[in-house]
């Protein structure tokens, strides 16, 4: 089974857990609150990956997501998720996109037509530099959407957890 199919299956399996109504923007930060930690990765009450930022120090996954975003996503979606004339501001989009939807869009891509123009998000389900770090990207963009992470490179971050190192080595084939 290809990685793209596996990610799509996971996203579809998680869709029933998604809230049918969109939370108001001010409620997003409350929903994103880390209630559990597993190997350096923080999870919200729904079990979705989330950020933890304390005293200006971001968790490893937020920092890694910043780095991955700026290596693969910013060309279209703009610096720090602020958007461009070519693609939407993900710092805004993540206010209304849950984890399963995010996985599905990144893995399978998306095509939007309207207002006389067409926008195409390519599928990244076969790109290891993206799919091995989907949680990192989601966590970073979630923090940006909630206003918890400011623009620019986070000045301080937690150390990379062994679980993160192991997952990376396994995904990248190392």
Question: Over 90: is that where the pLDDT of 48 sits?
Answer: yes
Task: Look at 18 and 115; give whichever has higher pLDDT.
Answer: 115
Q: What pLDDT is recorded for position 27?
A: 67
The pTM of this model reads 0.81
Cβ-proximal residues to 58 (8 Å cutoff; 6+ apart), any chain: 51, 52, 66, 143, 149, 154, 156, 157, 158
The distance of Cα 110 from the centroid of its chain, to the nearest Å, equals 16
Angstrom distance (rounded) from CA 104 to CA 159: 29
Confidence at 31, pLDDT banded by 50, 70, 90: confident
Q: What is the mean pLDDT of residues 48-64?
A: 95
Q: What percent of the chain has pLDDT over 90?
A: 51
Confidence at 91, pLDDT banded by 50, 70, 90: confident
pLDDT, the chain, mean = 83
Angstrom distance (rounded) from CA 172 to CA 169: 5
Question: Over 50: is that where the pLDDT of 37 sits?
Answer: yes
Within 10 angstroms of residue 68's Cβ, the number of other Cβ atoms is 19
Tokens 């979606």, located at residue = 77
CATH number at residue 143: 1.10.760
Number of domains in the chain: 1
Q: What percent of the chain has pLDDT over 70?
A: 83
Name the residue range of residue 136's domain: 3-19+27-172
Q: Are 117 and 130 in contact (CB under 8 A)?
A: no
Question: Over 80: is that where the pLDDT of 79 sits?
Answer: yes
Quick: pLDDT tens for 120-166.
Answer: 888 988 889 999 999 999 999 999 999 998 899 999 999 999 999 99
Encode 39-101 in three state secondary structure: CCEEECCCCCEECCEECCEECHHHHHHHHHHHHHCHHHHCHHHCCCCCCCCHHHHCCCCCHHH
């Amino acid at each position: 089974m290809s990685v793209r199919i596996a990610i799509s299956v996971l996203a579809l399996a998680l869709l029933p857990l998604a809230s049918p109504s969109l939370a108001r923007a001010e409620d997003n930060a409350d929903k994103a609150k880390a209630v559990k930690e597993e190997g350096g990765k923080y999870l919200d009450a729904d079990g979705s990956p989330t950020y933890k930022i304390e005293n200006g120090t971001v968790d490893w996954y937020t920092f890694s997501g910043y780095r991955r975003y700026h290596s693969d996503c910013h060309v279209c979606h703009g610096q720090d998720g602020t958007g461009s004339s070519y693609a939407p501001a993900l710092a805004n989009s993540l206010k209304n996109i849950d984890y399963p939807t995010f996985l599905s869009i990144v893995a399978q891509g998306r095509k939007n037509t309207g207002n006389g123009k067409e926008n195409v998000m390519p599928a990244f389900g076969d790109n290891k530099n993206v799919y091995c770090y989907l949680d990192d990207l989601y966590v970073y963009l979630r923090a940006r959407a909630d206003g918890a992470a400011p623009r620019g490179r986070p000045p301080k971050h937690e150390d990379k957890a062994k679980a993160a190192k192991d997952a990376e080595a396994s995904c990248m084939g190392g």
